[in-house]
Chains A and B, each alone.
Chain A
């Protein structure tokens, strides 16, 4: 009996994958040169796109590969932002050093919060992470030194330390955003191609089976939780460096830092690296068109997310990949064995 799969001829698939890879390369080069060709408004939009790409890659790593559905990632965006402000303003740490330091501290804070959240399973884990984010938000509102409920602004002198002129500052910030977007994709890609990736893919496909072949699932998931918290904190620090002002409501907003990010990952294709890239393009295209519709825009986003779950929960890229066996950033491993000998 032969097993047939509905794929295109391998040659054509390879050619399309090559073309898409080339396109991705060209887009990356164009993004690297953005300060040359993009205006100020476009540059700001691109910074936002790249930040969301990084957040989406991290949520995808967490939910798509480790099966940890968190709806409390705003905890780490906000924490990263607040730690960055505190380090820069009160500890006198230079801005460019304060960002990674804030990320590191966020990852450290994720150790105890993860320890607590991991006591809950499945959907209850999701709500538990949300409670933790609420604790952070309510606590931030109680800290007078950081402006309490009304928030705090980054002093102008500090922002100047990045670069003297406004244009130069924006270029510096753009390249931070570019690095965040690029590194988040590469980080996930390299992680998935390593031994860790094998463990993560095994967990994604079947957790009991992964456990059975010797993957320390709990340990792997915990480390991924801490890693994504750190990178999410880094992005958070950058987002509020760009905004120059932080309030508990903005820093720990579930809509901005979790609902939108989930939407991006789910529509693009959860459990694939390409998914968040496609999702972020769809999300911002939709926003440019429909943001003025206010509540209807958000209602539409909720409806699209539900529709994806009902029609094909693999999302755009997941469906394409399953249909045509395409992969732009390959992480799969091909069993390199000779065909089984024919019985005589």
Chain B
């Protein structure tokens, strides 16, 4: 029964990983761009939420709104001012610029918030749970996370395939050289893609703040989980990313069930095994 429980908890944890990964997946889909500071942005959102709620005593609902708005504008500006300059055929500049950003963000967070591990108290959400049977109960927070992940991915899917904005995003993804000929503005479309991805990063960061302890150096591990979920699911497939997150989550909780030291390792090993068996992921689109 402990194994069934591990799988159920793993699936729910997968929701959080899918939230980590959705923004990365979107940015790669539109710009073929991988942001190595992705995890650090998630952690920054978590700290922002923590500072607003516990530091300034702002009501959580307003704090959520503020975090999402701050992330959206930061994402748009970051893309327009910095990242658009390094997009292109040469891979090195985007990799190095985002790697540099990652180091800057981690050390800036360290300077402001110290190395102490922090967590946001979620009140009744922390303790509320639903009993499914004798040994299995589902926490309200993990369940909310999973529902949020499904909702976010459904919303992204809708924007991408059912709206005029999505059409532009897909057109830019297919051929960024033709879009300007049709009157589109690549720099703006890229920044909009990053804006959407940053809102998702904000949601992921808020859940991270409530779910686990985090510290300024927590970003890289989140980046790796996000990356693994994207690759397991298959590049370009948003529902695949959810599946990838779930597989990674289950691998980790089963690993943790065997030995606490194996949690992260088990996730990495399952990722590598899938990479060997299915290099294009489980639900490849591209």
Cβ of A46 within 8 Å of any chain B Cβ, yes or no, is no
Seed contacts A131-B271, A134-B264; 6 additional CB < 8 Å A-B pairs: A67-B91, A69-B95, A122-B32, A138-B265, A299-B111, A313-B93
Cβ of B215 within 8 Å of any chain A Cβ, yes or no, is no
Q: Please, how many angstroms separate the alpha-carbon atoms of A208 and B102 in the complex?
A: 31
Cβ of B128 within 8 Å of any chain A Cβ, yes or no, is no
Q: Are A262 and B275 neighbours in the complex by a CB distance under 8 Å?
A: no
Cβ of B90 within 8 Å of any chain A Cβ, yes or no, is yes
Q: Please, how many angstroms separate the alpha-carbon atoms of A71 and B279 in the complex?
A: 20
Q: Please, how many angstroms separate the alpha-carbon atoms of A209 and B107 in the complex?
A: 41
Q: Are B223 and A116 neighbours in the complex by a CB distance under 8 Å?
A: no
Q: Are A119 and B36 neighbours in the complex by a CB distance under 8 Å?
A: no
Q: Are B104 and A123 neighbours in the complex by a CB distance under 8 Å?
A: no
Q: Are B91 and A309 neighbours in the complex by a CB distance under 8 Å?
A: no
Q: Please, how many angstroms separate the alpha-carbon atoms of A135 and B276 in the complex?
A: 15
Cβ of B268 within 8 Å of any chain A Cβ, yes or no, is yes
Cβ of B96 within 8 Å of any chain A Cβ, yes or no, is yes
Given A139-B265, A298-B107, A302-B101, CB of A123 within 8 Å of CB of B95: yes
Given A270-B92, A295-B107, A306-B101, CB of A135 within 8 Å of CB of B275: no
Cβ of A124 within 8 Å of any chain B Cβ, yes or no, is yes
Closest to A117 in B: B275
Minimum CB–CB distance for B119 against chain A, Å: 22
Closest 10 CB pairs of A and B: A123-B34, A302-B103, A302-B100, A295-B107, A302-B104, A305-B100, A119-B279, A138-B265, A306-B100, A309-B93
Closest to A310 in B: B85
Q: Please, how many angstroms separate the alpha-carbon atoms of A259 and B98 in the complex?
A: 12
Closest to A271 in B: B92
| Chain A residues numbered 123-165 whose CB sits less than 8 Å from any CB in chain B | 123-124, 126-128, 130-132, 134-135, 138-139, 141-142
Q: Which stretch from B134-142, B172-180, B224-232 is at the chain A interface?
A: B224-232
Cβ of B165 within 8 Å of any chain A Cβ, yes or no, is no
Q: Are B91 and A127 neighbours in the complex by a CB distance under 8 Å?
A: no
Task: Specify which chain B residues have a CB less than 8 angstroms from the CB of A110 in the assembled complex.
Answer: none
Cβ of B256 within 8 Å of any chain A Cβ, yes or no, is no
Task: Specify which chain B residues have a CB less than 8 angstroms from the CB of A142 in the assembled complex.
Answer: 261-262, 265
Given A119-B275, A128-B275, A138-B268, CB of A303 within 8 Å of CB of B104: yes
Task: Specify which chain A residues have a CB less than 8 angstroms from the CB of B231 in the assembled complex.
Answer: 120, 124
Task: Specify which chain A residues have a CB less than 8 angstroms from the CB of B103 in the assembled complex.
Answer: 255, 259, 298-299, 301-302
Binding site for A on B (CB under 8 A): 32-34, 36, 82, 85-86, 90-97, 99-104, 107-108, 110-111, 220, 223-224, 227-228, 231, 261-262, 264-265, 268-269, 271-272, 275-276, 279
Q: Are A313 and B85 neighbours in the complex by a CB distance under 8 Å?
A: no
Q: Contact check: which of A120, A135, A254, A309 meets B96 at CB < 8 Å?
A: A309
Q: Please, how many angstroms separate the alpha-carbon atoms of A69 and B86 in the complex?
A: 16
Q: Are A135 and B101 neighbours in the complex by a CB distance under 8 Å?
A: no
Residue among A120, A132, A306 having the largest count of chain B Cβ atoms under 10 Å? A306
Given A126-B95, A127-B36, A141-B261, CB of A134 within 8 Å of CB of B268: yes
Minimum CB–CB distance for A252 against chain B, Å: 12
Q: Are A295 and B268 neighbours in the complex by a CB distance under 8 Å?
A: no
Minimum CB–CB distance for B100 against chain A, Å: 4
Q: Please, how many angstroms separate the alpha-carbon atoms of A259 and B103 in the complex?
A: 9
Q: Please, how many angstroms separate the alpha-carbon atoms of A308 and B99 in the complex?
A: 13
Q: Are B85 and A299 neighbours in the complex by a CB distance under 8 Å?
A: no
Q: Please, how many angstroms separate the alpha-carbon atoms of A255 and B220 in the complex?
A: 12
Q: Are B96 and A306 neighbours in the complex by a CB distance under 8 Å?
A: yes
Q: Are A135 and B107 neighbours in the complex by a CB distance under 8 Å?
A: no
Q: Are B91 and A116 neighbours in the complex by a CB distance under 8 Å?
A: no
Cβ of A63 within 8 Å of any chain B Cβ, yes or no, is yes
Cβ of A203 within 8 Å of any chain B Cβ, yes or no, is no
Residue among B33, B97, B103, B107 having the largest count of chain A Cβ atoms under 10 Å? B103
Cβ of A83 within 8 Å of any chain B Cβ, yes or no, is no
Q: Please, how many angstroms separate the alpha-carbon atoms of A303 and B99 in the complex?
A: 10
Q: Please, how many angstroms separate the alpha-carbon atoms of A23 and B242 in the complex?
A: 58
Closest to B217 in A: A255
Q: Are A295 and B111 neighbours in the complex by a CB distance under 8 Å?
A: yes
Q: Contact check: which of A63, A138, A302 meets B92 at CB < 8 Å?
A: A63
Cβ of A266 within 8 Å of any chain B Cβ, yes or no, is yes
Closest to A307 in B: B100
Q: Please, how many angstroms separate the alpha-carbon atoms of A132 and B273 in the complex?
A: 12
Task: Specify which chain A residues have a CB less than 8 angstroms from the CB of B271 in the assembled complex.
Answer: 131
Given A123-B34, A310-B85, CB of A299 within 8 Å of CB of B272: no
Minimum CB–CB distance for A139 against chain B, Å: 7
Q: Are A313 and B92 neighbours in the complex by a CB distance under 8 Å?
A: yes
Q: Please, how many angstroms separate the alpha-carbon atoms of A131 and B275 in the complex?
A: 12
Task: Specify which chain A residues have a CB less than 8 angstroms from the CB of B96 in the assembled complex.
Answer: 262, 266, 305-306, 308-309
Q: Please, how many angstroms separate the alpha-carbon atoms of A130 and B225 in the complex?
A: 12
5 contacts between A and B (CB under 8 A): A119-B279, A123-B33, A123-B34, A126-B95, A302-B101
Residue among A119, A120, A295, A308 having the largest count of chain B Cβ atoms under 10 Å? A295
Minimum CB–CB distance for A303 against chain B, Å: 6
Task: Specify which chain B residues have a CB less than 8 angstroms from the CB of A71 in the assembled complex.
Answer: 36, 95, 99
| Chain A residues numbered 227-269 whose CB sits less than 8 Å from any CB in chain B | 254-255, 259, 262, 266
Minimum CB–CB distance for A343 against chain B, Å: 38
Given A69-B92, A306-B96, A313-B92, CB of A127 within 8 Å of CB of B275: no
Task: Specify which chain A residues have a CB less than 8 angstroms from the CB of B102 in the assembled complex.
Answer: 302
Minimum CB–CB distance for A297 against chain B, Å: 9
Q: Are A262 and B99 neighbours in the complex by a CB distance under 8 Å?
A: yes
Closest to A132 in B: B272
Minimum CB–CB distance for A65 against chain B, Å: 12
Q: Please, how many angstroms separate the alpha-carbon atoms of A262 and B102 in the complex?
A: 14
Cβ of A196 within 8 Å of any chain B Cβ, yes or no, is no
